[in-house]
Amino acid sequence: MAGLVGEVFRLVPRPQAHGHRILMYHSVGLEQSGTTVDGDTLGIYSMTLAQFTQQIDAIQGVARSTGMSFVPFGSVLRDTISITFDDGYTDALTVIAPILCARQIPFHIFVSSARMNGSDRKYLSPEQVVELANMPGVTIGAHGATHRSLTSLSSPELAAELQASKVDLEAVLQKTVNTMSYPFGHVDESVHKASHDAGFTFAATSKWGFNEASGDPLLQRRIDMWSGDNKRTVENKILGHWNWFGLLT
């Protein structure tokens, strides 16, 4: 009998922890173009289309069986899921958008404005960012201007970098940008204050964990998604079985 009860509990996924889940992705399919995600020494931040599709299937499966819904990044609602992509790679438009839009899953892309306005076309161009922003469920946030570590900058440099990241993106989108993610997840008290002063109201870190409505909107935790995550790992991350990992990040 105990075995049967254990089996039933194993088959019905239950959230181990409550809170808003913000998933952090980077690229899907970038390695096929012969380039890699910046600083991705472990090769975990660019996954194939097959790996990504399998992960989205698993996330949707958990969402269905637990009653969690997908919400745009920027709202903290208990037991909901937001999907984010850092760095603004072009595959957000060519690979990711077709999949997530077809499934009506909202997603958020963090774009570094100087890269957007630069010549390296592994990053989204201004026209591509606008095209994405016009798709249903797609929202855009800042990710620094030049993708430098914000904690490494002097006070005037920090203010200028944050201001440029916001204003340059707003000029392209023709609307207010008040969300951001910290490049490399680097944030300290000065960066937190400067982000607030620059007009950002909601920001994602790389610190592992779920979020409660009472949490600091400028210090939102995320769940890091890796290319090698199989169905079971993805399910466990969404359910909260990996939240001990927050102690290490």
What is the three-state SS of 162-183?
HHHHHHHHHHHHCCCCCEEECH
Nearer to Zn ion (CB atom), residue 19 or residue 141: 141
Give the Cα-Cα-Cα angle 34, 35, 36 (nearest 5 degrees): 130
Q: How far is the CB of 184 from Zn ion (least distance, A)?
A: 6
Site for Zn ion in 157-186 (CB under 5 A): 183
Nearer to Zn ion (CB atom), residue 80 or residue 205: 205
Distance CA 4, CA 154 (A): 61
- Of 15, 29, 59, 86, the one binding Zn ion (CB under 5 A) is 86
Interface with Zn ion, residue 235, by CB under 5 A: no
Nearer to Zn ion (CB atom), residue 87 or residue 91: 87
Nearer to Zn ion (CB atom), residue 80 or residue 128: 128
Q: Do residues 161 and 130 touch, judged by C-beta distance below 8 A?
A: no
Distance CA 76, CA 110 (A): 18
- Of 20, 68, 76, 87, the one binding Zn ion (CB under 5 A) is 87
Q: How far is the CB of 119 from Zn ion (least distance, A)?
A: 19
The answer for 87, left when phi > 0, alpha when psi is -120 to 50, beta otherwise, is left
Binding site for Zn ion (CB under 5 A): 86-87, 183
